[in-house]
Chains A and B, each alone.
Chain A
Amino acid sequence: MLQIISLLMENKAGALMRVTGLLTARGYNIDSLTVARTLDAGLSRMTIAVDIEPHGRRQLIKQMNKLINVLQATDLSEGPAVTREMVLMRVRASQESRTAILKESEIFGARVVDSTLEGFALEATGDAEKLDEFINTMQSYGEIEVTRSGAVAVSLDSKKLRLSPPIPRGETMLVEEKNGVA
């Protein structure tokens, strides 16, 4: 079972590397990682799916929170959260199976984004298990090619609700002249 870590971070060169560096330095494999900017273009939201035992995960999240570019790292596996993933899929469909594929797609709530004589391009969202099922089902109709987005998640914890752009809460300091040689 994968756990989800959600990070709010500065949208800066190198920030991604600092976060993933903490994982690789400890030998953890990243199952999926998504990152995109938030309402505040200076900030990004990153969602990481990993499998780490609880003590290691707690320690890792503390280390992530210490990174200068990270405003907040949260373990979403510990509270209510919703996780979604998107899959883009091409299916090669024979004339006979086209209708069945469309019916099946409807059941999974997938949309057709492209249709050619060879087959379809489909788009589906859902949690990882549902998408796995969808992919399995489609495989039975013929050759498929799949791209998954990786998980994005949002906490449903009312304490963590942020309807407006998050307000940075870190350090501001005045630069004081110190007694140097100048």
Chain B
Amino acid sequence: MSQLMSGAKILLECLAREGVEVIFGYPGGVTLPFYDALYDHPIRHVLVRHEQNAAFAAQGYSRSTGRVGVCCATSGPGATNLVTGLVDAMMDSIPIVALTGQVSTKLIGTDAFQEADTFGITRSATKHNYLVKNIKDLPSVIHEAFYIAASGRPGPVLVDVTKDVFMGNCQYEPVNSIHLPGYKVYTEGHTGQIRRAAQMILEAERPMIYAGGGIVLGNAHEELRELVEAVDAPTVCTLMGLGGLPSEHPNFISMPGMHGSYAANMAMSGADLLIALGVRFDDRVTGRLAAFAPHAKIIHVDIDPAEISKNRNADLPIVGDLKRILPKLTANVREIRTEAGSPDRPGLKAWWKQVRAWKEENPLVPVYSKTEIKPQHLMAEIDRISGGKAIVTSDVGQHQMWAAQLIRYNAPRLWINSGGLGSMGFGLPSAIGAQFANPDQLVFSIVGDGGFQMSLPELATLMNYGLPVKIIVMNNGYLGMVRQWQELFYNNRLSSVTLDSFPDPSLLAGAYGFKGRTIEHPSELASALQEAIDYHGPYLLNVKVTPTENVYPMVPSGGAIHEMVLGPVQPTPVA
């Protein structure tokens, strides 16, 4: 039954059909008709204080739930401000739909007020984008946008809607099917390849599972655990895959890569088979590609065919959905083993002994001091409180690496960080989205003093919506990771990395109406964190940590991952 409706109302109707409950956005001139329709619509709008943070908040919502996050901005500056958030979602394959207003169709191309070529600007920042100039196209475009965002390898989709489309009227007929002739989604995986993969797994003496963000995005964590237990292989989760296998699982060997653990990197380098699941052999994981996992054959399972053999040649590729493929792979492994009479696997036993020895040799453990709060100590305390259950968002840099190394994530979608793009200012707005989606869960936003100051305007959003996010500023007074590299590779010539004039957190939080404080002594840490958690609203805890602490282990840029620097280089004693 069709009915005459405005474009703005049709858009809201389509969003409601897609199950949207909240939009993170910021209004403006050309989106006025849309905001007018929102006024008495049940979909909730969260007013952020900068459009970039609308995209980050939509990501936080999506990353913590698996649902499509929605953000909205006006034309021109509103749309251009979204771009970093879109590219960030693109790099980490996060399904979000961005709605932007565009000037009226007849004004496009005239340099009208607040006009920007949003369609052109966001072409490479999105999985797909649309410019809607005809109201009749609107319903199918919206449903296509949600489908494209969430299916296959997920990603951001932007829909640019002209003002005349918002304001125009049209007989609205719900669209019940969409057709995308050029869009292919691979799901099942090749049966023969899966069988061959199972054989390779059982023939391997030193198998290793290398699990990435695809496990989390594909909701394949249960299926991963089944496979890990069937194969009994040591398993690493990448920065994007943390929580894909519970951190407390006996087969979990932490994170590999530039700041990965000694055991993870040594095991990757020593394995004779890498079972790569939803990973993209990112340079931060592989180090020098030519020296990466030199003895290993590669089984690569990914939903995106363009990832296969992109960086490292796959000996056995399987293209499809991990959630569908892993159970078949596990079943094949079990079947072949049983058929062979469940033989002993002495090679695997020796392999585990070696991996355990590496773990004991250089474990990832916090560093403590009696006089200063070590950043690792801070993470260890957060870990103790979280118990592997809290949502932790972060920015990018040293704090991100320590939080990845030292906090347990016993479920997927707890660890939310900007992995691929490495956007500063991501932690606080993504926590806003995550807290909205999970109102009863404890959400820590662990940020550095640099990134935090990039997201300051969102303190108002926190207060505005009463979101009890616990902001933990790991404050070392520096842009820590850049300082670390300047120290190690640029003769300690510290160029523009000192962050003086950090605001007094009690005054800053107080100005917005919530509580904040600074601590700098280790003895205060536990009680201050407890106070932050017990506080009914948002809390800003500024933790002054050792200013010049470096993140270790570290694989220097261009190095092989088994050539880690394990700790500060000791000065050579003079003979």
**Chain A interface (Cβ < 8 Å from any Cβ of B):** 9-10, 13-14, 17-18, 21, 25, 43, 58-59, 62-63, 65-71, 168-175, 177-182
Contacts and interface: CB of A to CB of B under 8 A. Distances in A.
B534 to A, nearest CB: 32
B106 interface: no
A95 to B, nearest CB: 50
B370 interface: no
Contacts of B19: 177-180
B337 interface: no
A84 to B, nearest CB: 26
Given A10-B182, A68-B180, A175-B178, 8 more contacts: A14-B129, A18-B123, A68-B127, A174-B177, A180-B20, A181-B44, A182-B16, A182-B43
Interface in B113-152: 119-120, 123-124, 127-129, 131, 143, 147-148, 151
A170 B17 contact: no
A17 B44 CA distance: 35
Interface stretch (B303-311, B427-435, B466-474): B303-311
Nearest to A168: B181
Nearest to A59: B310
Name the prevailing secondary structure of the A interface residues: mixed
Contacts of B184: 65, 169-171
Interface residues of B, number: 40
Contacts of A169: 181, 184
Interface in B163-184: 174-184
Contacts of B310: 59
Contacts of A25: 124
- Which of A25, A58, A175, A179 counts the most B-chain CB atoms under 10 A from its CB? A175
B306 A170 contact: no
A17 B19 CA distance: 32
A181 B182 contact: no
Please give me the 7 A-B residue pairs with the lowest Cβ-Cβ distance, nearest first: A178-B19, A168-B181, A182-B16, A62-B306, A180-B19, A181-B42, A170-B181
A20 to B, nearest CB: 10
B42 A182 contact: yes
Given A180-B16, A181-B42, A70 B182 contact: yes
24 contacts: A9-B182, A10-B182, A14-B119, A14-B123, A25-B124, A63-B306, A68-B128, A68-B183, A69-B182, A71-B182, A170-B181, A171-B179, A171-B184, A171-B185, A172-B177, A175-B17, A178-B18, A178-B19, A180-B15, A180-B18, A180-B20, A181-B16, A181-B44, A182-B13
Nearest to A71: B182
A9 B185 CA distance: 17
Contacts of B13: 182
Nearest to A15: B182
A21 B119 CA distance: 13
A65 B17 CA distance: 30
Given A171-B183, A180-B21, A62 B305 contact: yes
Contact of A17 (B18, B120, B309): B120
Given A10-B182, A21-B123, A177 B17 contact: yes
A66 B306 CA distance: 8
Contacts of A63: 306
A164 to B, nearest CB: 15
A173 B178 contact: yes
Contact of A172 (B21, B151, B178, B182): B178
Interface string B303-339: 0111001100000000000000000000000000000
A170 B182 contact: yes
Contacts of B18: 178, 180
Interface in B1-48: 13, 15-21, 42-44
B131 A13 contact: yes
Nearest to A13: B131
A85 to B, nearest CB: 27
A21 B131 CA distance: 17
B306 A59 contact: yes
